[in-house]
Amino acid sequence: MRFDRLQDWLGWLETCHPSEIEMGLGRASTVAKALDINFGQSKIITVAGTNGKGSCVAVLNTLLTQAGYRVGAFTSPHFLDYNERIVVNNQAVKDLEIIESFHRIDQCRQTTSLTYFEFGTLAALDIFCRSNLDVVILEVGLGGRLDVVNIIDADIAIITSIDIDHVDWLGPDRESIGAEKAGVFRPVVPAICADPNPPESILNIAEAMGSRLLLWGKQFDLSVNQSSSKIGSWVGEDLSGNKIDLPSIELPDLPVGSIAAAIQAIELLPLADSDRVKKVNYDHLKDIHLPGRFQKISLDEGLVILDVAHNPAAARHLQNLLSLHPIKGRTYALVAMMSDKDVEGIIEPLQDAFDGWFLGDLVDNPRAKKAFELEGIIKEHTEQVVTRAESISEALDLVLEVMDISDRVVVFGSFFTVAEVMTLISKANNKKVERTTLEGSRDE
């Protein structure tokens, strides 16, 4: 075996391919065949989309697992631990399982070079096909047509939303991006699209491929109660095309389209009943919380909200959530973004949402936009005070110093930004626990 520690494997994976991203299915397909990836009777749900993929996966995974099905879910990126990417029955797999899978892939690939993401996706597929699962949920990493997840044929394909992002890889407009994401569709099987205004390319590809296309607002819908954003009514279709209705369900703080698409997928799953399986209980919806998606952490200094919003559509969704959850105190922003993002498109819907902005550099991240560059753009859109620090850690310290218990700070702009603040808060909490433990032992 090349390494016996997961961190050593991950460090090697970052350097073993000439480029970080190389689109295409050929390399991964070759290695998957050598690994004998075969899911047997497992049903595959593939989830693509610009925003809301992780939320859709979370709804599917939680509801199906609680109904008694054996479920595997692959997502990316992770926040704190790589193991977050590969989950079986709501539990992240252990280091040893990933290490053993990496070793099998390394042996089977021979001279085939794989990217970091290809290696990780193949590991998830390898682990899932050895786990005797009822349902496998695969989140697309980038696009759809040429993403490594697409080497597996979906029994149900979902597109959560279409917006402008990753233009260098997917194209400059919604039509070209939609075509890339519709690459996960397959003949005959359901293709669910939760974008309220789907590009023509999605409709055309579904028709040409002979997919059973279900569109939000036509074949299925989720309307939110006007008096309470927490209550919704869902309608959709079953496998036979009959209309079904969920007249009153409590909703989590996740994108409505992602929730609607997940419910429609569940109602279409051709799963056999058994003694260990019961009907999906949608009452569990309200209890679903996803890290980094309007995630709330209460500190002594005030409330921290973590949200991975990193493109204009996600920023609009964040602005809507903030307006639905007003507070008595002040709201601050802590932001860092990648250089390839539409910074102005992200800032514009949020320009009036904050009482102050705090910026920090993502140190040692060559993709990150420098804080001083971000400062200039933000100052063009707001008259609020912008405070720039040398790091995310320093920016977090500065904003917590000016907050009181009635205030909140919203951390957004990138998975990297949210992950770094998560890590900082986790370390601070661990130190607090250690200090309390030591003081308690002295008292004894």
pLDDT tens, per residue, the chain with 444 residues: 899 999 999 999 988 876 777 888 999 999 999 999 999 889 999 999 999 999 999 999 999 999 999 999 999 999 989 999 999 999 999 999 999 999 999 999 999 999 999 999 999 999 999 999 999 999 999 999 999 999 999 999 999 999 988 888 788 899 999 999 999 999 999 999 999 999 999 999 999 999 999 999 999 999 987 666 689 999 999 999 999 999 989 999 899 999 999 999 999 998 777 767 788 999 999 999 899 999 999 999 999 999 999 999 999 999 999 998 999 999 999 999 999 899 999 999 999 999 999 999 999 899 899 999 999 999 999 989 999 999 999 999 999 999 999 999 999 999 999 999 999 998 887 655 444 333 343 333
Please list the alpha-helical segments (H only) found in 328-379. 343-347, 371-379
Residues 35, 29: Cα–Cα separation, whole Å: 10
Residues 233, 363: Cα–Cα separation, whole Å: 45
For 92, the enclosing helix (H) or strand (E) is strand 91-92
Q: Which of 226, 221, 217, 290 is nearest to 252 (CA)?
A: 290
| Whole-number pLDDT of residue 431 | 58
Burial class (CB in 10 A: 0-12, 13-18, 19+), 78: middle
Note if the pTM is more than 0.75: yes
Sequence ranges of the domains in the chain? 11-287, 295-441
Q: Which of 180, 49, 160, 142 is nearest to 340 (CA)?
A: 142
DSSP 8-state class, residue 183: G
| Alpha carbon distance, N-terminus to C-terminus of the chain | 48
DSSP 8-state class, residue 83: G
| Whole-number pLDDT of residue 314 | 93
Please list the alpha-helical segments (H only) found in 130-245. 167-170, 174-181, 200-209
Q: What is the CATH number of domain 295-441?
A: 3.90.190.20
**CATH superfamily, with its number, for domain 11-287:** Mur-like, catalytic domain (3.40.1190.10)
Task: Report the DSSP pairing between strands 331-335 and 408-412.
Answer: parallel
- For CA atoms 241, 243, 249, 252, give the dihedral sign: positive
| Max intra-chain CA distance, the chain | 74
DSSP 8-state class, residue 5: S
| Whole-number pLDDT of residue 344 | 93
